[in-house]
A = this chain, B = another copy of it.
Amino acid sequence: MSGIQLNELQALDIWRRAIVASVRADAPDLSARQMALLLSVYLTPPPHTVRGLAQLMKVSKPAITRAVNRLTELELVRRKTDEADRRSVFIQRTVRGSVFLREYGELIVSAALGETEGSSDGLPPRY
């Protein structure tokens, strides 16, 4: 039909397809916080600092440090100290992170297309 009539149930179902596909593909099992951080770094304008991300996500700075540690191990982001103020640390993108998120986006789009094609009927059982 015309496009995605994005009601809540369809939105959830798209998300279900995408995240199940991601888990099946053995992608790293990121927590919501880690994913929020990753997406923020890639999709909002830099610079991104620990302090800024902590405020954005309303979590403690150590929580950001730990999430960055994890994402750095996975090479999805990297640290770069701000030379203008050496107390600050910038969280930056990496090639691997770009690839990861690109594929993630494709997953969501595929899930959305699968959703709209055909299955206009079955709103899954009552809810």
Contact = CB atoms under 8 A, between A and B. Distances in A.
Interface of A: 2-9, 11-13, 15-16, 19-20, 22-24, 26-27, 29-33, 35-36, 39-40, 42-46, 56-59, 98, 101-102, 104-106, 108-109, 112, 123-125, 127
B23 A58 contact: yes
Q: For the complex formed by this chain, how many copies does it contain in all?
A: 2
Given A109-B8, A127-B98, A16 B31 contact: no
B7 A45 contact: no
Contacts of A29: 31-33
15 contacts: A3-B5, A6-B112, A11-B105, A11-B108, A11-B112, A12-B43, A13-B43, A19-B32, A22-B36, A24-B56, A42-B124, A42-B127, A43-B124, A45-B124, A56-B123
